[in-house]
Amino acid sequence: MYSLVRPILFQMDAEKAHELSLKALKWIPKICFKHSLAQPVSAMGLDFPHPVGLAAGLDKNGEYLDALSKIGFSFIEIGTVTPRAQQGNPKPRLFRLPKARAIINRMGFNNQGVDALIANVKKAKYQGILGINIGKNKETSLTRAAEDYLYCLKKVYAFASYITINVSSPNTPDLRLLQQDKFFADLLGQLCDEQQRLSQEFKRWVPLVVKISPDESDETLKQIADIVVQKKLSGIIATNTTCSREAVSQFPYGTEQGGLSGKPLRSRSTECLRLLKERVGNEVSLIGVGGIDDYASAQEKLKAGASLLQVYTGLIYEGPRLIHSLLSP
């Protein structure tokens, strides 16, 4: 069915098409979707029905949890959410590159704020594994960034199965500097201390994971891995979008500013996974994301060390059938 409507959606503005697709999904019966195969995975202290989940970014405010649960994801990650609502960057800010099977976005953490997200989560009937991705507001300085992350952590802790610390979006000025040693260790230290306190308050342990950039040097990735192990985080998501345009500059929209996702990201994100796996061993769970759009690319990520997978751009191009195809050749 998606193959029939995709040409129509791809004639529309990309952001409007995404919104329309999510709204339409609410009205499609669950029986219309192919059930995912059972391939149980344990990671981060959680038990997943199979490895394939939804990456953050598609449902920023948790408005479509029940609709997205019909498709068969093993877990859903919502956000990125910030303490206060913000509009994000000016439109247009989302661009499809069909010939490259890629997307460029410069959304800029557009969201309704953490209180609105929590209200949506409370209303949802979804009972599956829920990741909540947290970030900082654009106007918050790097020296005060920890305050925003701590605020969101406290707000979402009671509602999340795991919480992702997003320090790697290219669309918030200087955000990626938080991956540098002087900021990174301090930020994670403060968040882990608060995690300990919250675990006692709520009598439940919610794993923390960090989402990293593919554009860091291998040496920086090793430093990130070492700090993650030292601070005893539960996971690393590898990777966020890339600023590289090496593979797409010849295509329409290929030089637009923002983060590039999809097939051109596949190789580098897998390289990052391999490097991280060598560094962290079995102490930290790895979640692979970037260019996963068929069984071969899913297996590539798993063999590189990922326990779990996340998709976004592949879903835009393949539709709901993607999940089943990632699990079965």
Active site residues: 169
The reply, when asked if residue 288 is annotated as ligand binding, is no
The reply, when asked if residue 105 is annotated as ligand binding, is yes
The reply, when asked if residue 164 is annotated as ligand binding, is no
The reply, when asked if residue 239 is annotated as ligand binding, is yes
Give the position of tokens 């059938």: 321
The reply, when asked if residue 262 is annotated as ligand binding, is yes
The reply, when asked if residue 47 is annotated as ligand binding, is no
The reply, when asked if residue 313 is annotated as ligand binding, is yes
What is the distance in angstroms between the CA of the first residue and the CA of the last residue of the chain?
Answer: 21
The reply, when asked if residue 57 is annotated as ligand binding, is yes
The reply, when asked if residue 79 is annotated as ligand binding, is no
Classify 50 as helix, strand or coil. coil
The reply, when asked if residue 211 is annotated as ligand binding, is yes
**φ, ψ dihedrals at 12, nearest 5°:** -90, 165
The reply, when asked if residue 131 is annotated as ligand binding, is no
The reply, when asked if residue 240 is annotated as ligand binding, is yes
Q: What is the DSSP letter of 255?
A: T
**φ, ψ dihedrals at 130, nearest 5°:** -120, 120
The reply, when asked if residue 80 is annotated as ligand binding, is yes
The reply, when asked if residue 107 is annotated as ligand binding, is yes
The reply, when asked if residue 301 is annotated as ligand binding, is no
Closest CA relative to residue 71, chosen from 315, 293, 328: 315
Cα 24 from Cα 2, distance rounded (Å)? 12
Are 28 and 21 a contacting pair, CB within 8 Å?
Answer: no
Peptide bond into 255 cis (omega under 30): no
Are 133 and 162 a contacting pair, CB within 8 Å?
Answer: no
Peptide bond into 92 cis (omega under 30): yes
- The total of other beta-carbon atoms located within 10 Å of residue 42's CB is 10
Q: What is the DSSP letter of 78?
A: E
Joined together, the tokens standing for residue 56 give 């953050």
Cα 17 from Cα 5, distance rounded (Å)? 11
Q: Are strands 162-166 and 259-262 parallel, antiparallel or unpaired?
A: unpaired
Give the position of tokens 């950039």: 213
Cα 63 from Cα 61, distance rounded (Å)? 5
The reply, when asked if residue 108 is annotated as ligand binding, is yes
The reply, when asked if residue 171 is annotated as ligand binding, is yes
Q: Which residues pair with 47 in a beta bridge?
A: 42
Binding-site positions for FMN? 56-60, 80, 133, 166, 211, 239, 262, 291, 312-313
Binding-site positions for substrate? 60, 105-109, 166, 171, 240-241
Binding-site positions? 56-60, 80, 105-109, 133, 166, 171, 211, 239-241, 262, 291, 312-313
